[in-house]
Amino acid sequence: MSRPTAEQQRVLDWAAAHRRDLPWRGTRDPWRVLVAEVMLQQTQADRVVPHYERFTAAYPDPAACAGAPLDEVLRAWTGLGYPRRARNLRRAAQVVVDDHGGRVPADLESLLALPGVGPYTARAVLAFAFGRDVAVVDTNTGRILARRAGERLTPARAQACADEWVPSGAGWEWNQGLLDLGAARCRPTTPECTGCPVRRTCAWARAGWPAPDPAERSAGVSTPQARFAGSVRQARGRLVRVLGEGPLPLDEVAGVLGWVDRDVDVESVVDSLVADGLVHVRAGRLVLGEPASH
C-alpha cells in the first residue's frame, strides 16, 4: 500500500475533520449501503435519513424486500419520490436472492447487472460496503474533478481521473470526503476555495475562475431540474401516495391531481405508471402494485 501524496493527505485530513454523521456511514452492510445509495440517487441526504431508517427497519435484508408485495414496498417508499427506484430496488433484491444466495455481490459486473444500479451506485457499494479503492463520480465529485482538471470531462475521462486519484487503501474515507467536499465547499455557483484542500492543484481556481465553469455539463454533474410544482413528476408521486391508501376509480384521478381539464396529461401520468409496473387497472379502478397473478 503506497503512502498518500501531500494533496491526498490534505483531502483525507479535511474529510476526517468535516465528516457528516449520516446513518448509512455507520454500516458496512452491503444491502443497507445499496438502499442508501439508491435513495440518494435523486434525493438530498437530509431528506433520505428518516426514509432510510424506516425502509431498512421494514426490510433489513434483500430476502425481506424480495419477498414483499410491490404495493407494500411502494408504500414504504412514500415521500421519497421517483417510485421507480423502489420497484427497481425490489427487483434487485430478487436478483440478489435468486442469483447470489441473498448476498449483495462484491464485483462491479454483477452489481451493474442489478436493476436500477448504474456506475455510480455500483462503485459506491464497492467503496462503502467492501472498502474497495474505486472512485464514485456523482454531481458533487464530478464538479471537483472538472474544476481540478480545468476542463469539462467526458464520462470515461472523469472516471479515469477519479480512479487514479484514490489513495491506496482509503477508498471509503476518500470517497465520503470528496462527496462532503463537493457539497460543502465546491458548490455549484459559489465554491468556497479558501481553505479547500484541493486549492493548490485546482486548475480552475489557479487560473482565476475563468468562464465558463468547467463543471458545466461535465460528466456526472447534474443540471438544474425543471420546476417541480405542476410537473408530471409531482403528479406521479401524488398519485402513488393516494393509491397507497387504497384503489381509486379512474374517473377520480383528474380530481385528485387537480387536473380536471387536462385529460391528455392525466392519461399520460396513468399510462407512465402502468408502463413502469407501479400500478395497474382493475375493474375501472387504479390499484397500486402488480396484478395478483404476479
Nearest-approach distance from CB 122 to ligand SF4, in angstroms: 25
Which is closer to ligand SF4, CB of 64 or CB of 193? 193
Beta strands in the chain (DSSP E): 248-249, 279-282, 285-288
Q: How many residues of this chain interact with ligand SF4, rule: CB under 6 A?
A: 14
Nearest-approach distance from CB 200 to ligand SF4, in angstroms: 8
- DSSP label of 96: H
Beta bridge partners, 287, equal 280
Q: How far apart are CA 101 and CA 88, in angstroms?
A: 19
Q: How far apart are CA 219 and CA 210, in angstroms?
A: 19
Which is closer to ligand SF4, CB of 11 or CB of 125? 11
Which is closer to ligand SF4, CB of 192 or CB of 245? 192
151 is catalytic: no
- Environment class of 192 (CB within 10 Å of its CB; exposed 0-12, middle 13-18, buried 19+): exposed
199 contributes a contact to ligand SF4 by CB under 6 A: yes
Q: How far apart are CA 251 and CA 7, in angstroms?
A: 62
Q: How far apart are CA 293 and CA 80, in angstroms?
A: 28
Nearest-approach distance from CB 160 to ligand SF4, in angstroms: 18
What H or E segment, with its residue span, contains residue 71?
helix 70-77
Which is closer to ligand SF4, CB of 117 or CB of 178? 178
Contact 89, 121 (CB under 8 A): no
What H or E segment, with its residue span, contains residue 109?
helix 108-112
68 contributes a contact to ligand SF4 by CB under 6 A: no
Which is closer to ligand SF4, CB of 199 or CB of 233? 199
What DSSP letter does each residue of 36-53 carry, written as one string?
HHHHHTSS-HHHHHHHHH
- Ranges within 117-156 binding ligand SF4 (CB under 6 A): 144, 147-148
205 contributes a contact to ligand SF4 by CB under 6 A: yes
Nearest-approach distance from CB 209 to ligand SF4, in angstroms: 7
Which is closer to ligand SF4, CB of 162 or CB of 186? 186
Residue type, 81: G
Nearest-approach distance from CB 202 to ligand SF4, in angstroms: 3
Question: Binding pattern to ligand SF4, positions 167-196, x when CB under 6 A?
Answer: ------------------xx----xxx--x
Q: Considering the candidates 37, 72, 245, 252, report the single residue annotated as catalytic.
A: 37
Nearest-approach distance from CB 121 to ligand SF4, in angstroms: 24
Question: Binding pattern to ligand SF4, positions 212-251, x when CB under 6 A?
Answer: ----------------------------------------
Question: Binding pattern to ligand SF4, positions 7-26, x when CB under 6 A?
Answer: --------------------
Burial letters 99-117, b for 16+ CB under 10 A, else e: eeeeebbeeeebbeebebb
Contact 141, 124 (CB under 8 A): no
Binding site for ligand SF4 (CB under 6 A): 144, 147-148, 185-186, 191-193, 196, 198-199, 202, 204-205
Q: Which residues are catalytic?
A: 37
